[in-house]
Amino acid sequence: MAKLNLNRVPMPRQNPRVRGRNFNEVALGYSLQQAQEEASRCIQCPKRSCADGCPVEVEIPDFIKALRDGDMPEAVRILKSKNSLPGICGRVCPQEIQCESTCSLAKKGAPIAIGRLERFVADWERANKGSLDPPLVSEPSGKQVAVVGSGPAGLTAAADLAKLGHSVTIFEALHVAGGVLMYGIPEFRLPKEIVQAEVDYVASLGVKIELDSVVGKLVTIDELLNNGYRAVFLGTGAGLPMFLNVPGENLNGIYSANEFLTRVNLMKAYRFPEYDTPVKIGKRVAVVGGGNVAMDSARCALRLGAKEVYIVYRRSEAEMPARREEVENAREEGIQFKLLTNPKQFLGDEQNWVVGMECYEMELGEPDASGRRRPVVKPGSEFVINVDEVIVALGTTPNPLIAATTPGLESTKRGTVVADEATGKTKKDKVWAGGDIVTGAATVISAMGAGKAAAADIDRFLRG
């Protein structure tokens, strides 16, 4: 047996000083040679434990083997038979806590860089469009299904249902499909061209996409069910921003991360005035929060031209929910971390513009419900950080619109919709739900897994 190679092929990346001033993708992607070298590290172990760690059940060892052997069309076929959005997943999945964490090599050294290989295969397909056979779609069932929301859960459910022969229509509130993949995750981490290509792939399966359609306003779930749709899948995510609810939060210059990122990514404010939507460019910007959205916001603010950008987080680095990789990227680019720090109030000038943020120093106490140590205020520790822009990235909750306009749909106190964990079936007849609308803000891949499971259950229902 060949000697184990315990080191992964490094990912080429843009230099931090250069990339901190542009919106181009940070990670540049493997060459074919690099991808095959990394693929050949896979020992093709019989346990296939990596595949067990994948929420959408990609046959990981098989696509890696095809890639290693240079059979790219086969690698694409294997990957896309389970995952309709591989270019997205290869970039934003937290592989380190999923497939890569269960890789057999992980016990001895670096696990196979599964995410990077997935990205390579997806990018190869996009570059070699037309050289592949179209995906197999089952005989038409003649049954219509409505999917509400075109984020990762909705796109996955729609693609799977279309492949199973059902006639699927996606209703999307915004003017482009993709949900958080378009409005939330920045270009430098997930180029919009890649999201669009994967949305186009889903459409190529026969899925109709109705943009500008706010379900709950334009049409209700019951109206859809009364107008020919045999089942509805709700994948509307968690779109409602949370605020701190401290004094001064409505001052000018204080954004929710959703607003800031929507302006920058969806509306392309980084190209203002060529594009009409503006965004304020602060000199000293504080981002409140410690998740991926906080990192994305901080790195966008830097790229727009901020001189100093702070991540203000009430716990310590160990408790940060952001991916390690993104924290490291942010730090390399010069983002400063003000940890164990929590805003008490925002200070404004006479024109209502934010000029400062009064904070408490925090310390960690006993573990709370999340298992992380609870941050507690150090009495008398108040101090002021001078800032001219603040981005509040505390998380999001589901938009109440669907729940409020859909009788019979049960929701929790947190605003999430109650659905069966395995099938996504809600308490309402013919309605399924999955992704952030059920779990609260989580990951792209967990939403995709939920979309996949619901699609399978909807198919069983329609054929039953």
Partner 1 sequence: MYKILLRQDLVPNIHLFKVAAPAVAEKAQPGQFVVIRIDERGERIPLTIADWDRDEGSVTIVFMEVGTTTARLALLEAGDSIADFVGPLGVPTHIKKFGTVVCVAGGVGVAPISPIGRALKNAGNKIISILGARSKGLIFWEDRLRSFSDQLIVTTDDGTYGRKGVVTVPLKELLESGEKIDRVIAIGPSIMMKFCSKTTEPFGVKTIVSLNPIMVDGTGMCGCCRVSVGGVTKFACMDGPDFDGHQVDWELLFARQRIYLDEERRSLELWQCQCDAHS
Q: Which is nearer to partner 1, 86 or 348 (CB)?
A: 348
Q: Which is nearer to partner 1, 262 or 292 (CB)?
A: 262
State how far the Cα of 237 lies from the Cα of 180, in Å rounded to an integer: 8
- Write down the residue that tokens 């709700």 correspond to: 234
The answer to the question of residue 144 lying near partner 1 (CB under 8 A) is no
Judged by CB under 8 A, the number of residues near partner 1 is 41
State how far the Cα of 20 lies from the Cα of 50, in Å rounded to an integer: 34
Residues 194-233 that bind partner 1 (CB under 8 A): 211-214, 217-219
CA 248 to chain centre: 30
Residues 8-67 that bind partner 1 (CB under 8 A): none
CA 133 to chain centre: 29
- Of 107, 16, 116, nearest to 64 by C-alpha is 116
The answer to the question of residue 442 lying near partner 1 (CB under 8 A) is no
- The only residue of 102, 262, 411, 426 in contact with partner 1, by rule CB under 8 A: 262
Q: Which is nearer to partner 1, 134 or 273 (CB)?
A: 273
Q: Which is nearer to partner 1, 39 or 180 (CB)?
A: 180
Residues 265-304 that bind partner 1 (CB under 8 A): 267-268, 272-278, 280
Least distance in angstroms from the C-beta of 194 to partner 1: 18
Q: What angle do CA 324, 327, 332 make, to 5 degrees?
A: 125
Q: Which is nearer to partner 1, 362 or 392 (CB)?
A: 392
- The only residue of 352, 384, 414, 427 in contact with partner 1, by rule CB under 8 A: 352
- The only residue of 147, 174, 357, 445 in contact with partner 1, by rule CB under 8 A: 174
Q: Which is nearer to partner 1, 34 or 258 (CB)?
A: 258
3-state helix, strand, coil in the chain (%, to 5): 35, 20, 45
What are all long-range contacts of 200-204, with beta carbons under 8 Å and residues at least 24 apart?
201/84, 201/159, 202/84, 202/155, 202/158, 202/159, 202/162, 204/134
> What is the CB-side half-sphere exposure of residue 219 using CA atoms within 13 A?
20
- The only residue of 21, 47, 129, 175 in contact with partner 1, by rule CB under 8 A: 175
- Of 176, 157, 153, nearest to 236 by C-alpha is 153
Least distance in angstroms from the C-beta of 216 to partner 1: 9
Token couple for 87: 């270019």
> Amino acid letter at 461?
F
- The only residue of 68, 263, 323, 428 in contact with partner 1, by rule CB under 8 A: 263
- The only residue of 78, 79, 155, 173 in contact with partner 1, by rule CB under 8 A: 173
- The only residue of 96, 259, 358, 363 in contact with partner 1, by rule CB under 8 A: 259
Least distance in angstroms from the C-beta of 356 to partner 1: 17
- Of 285, 296, 307, nearest to 357 by C-alpha is 285
- The only residue of 106, 137, 205, 240 in contact with partner 1, by rule CB under 8 A: 240
CA 57 to chain centre: 18
Least distance in angstroms from the C-beta of 267 to partner 1: 6
Asked if omega into 273 is within 30° of 0 (cis), the reply is yes
**Stretch near partner 1 under the rule CB under 8 A, chosen from 224-232, 250-258, 330-338, 361-369:** 250-258
> What is the CB-side half-sphere exposure of residue 242 using CA atoms within 13 A?
16
The answer to the question of residue 252 lying near partner 1 (CB under 8 A) is yes
Give the residues lining the site for partner 1 (CB under 8 A).
Answer: 173-175, 183, 211-214, 217-219, 239-241, 243, 245, 249-250, 252-253, 255-256, 258-259, 262-263, 267-268, 272-278, 280, 351-352, 399-401
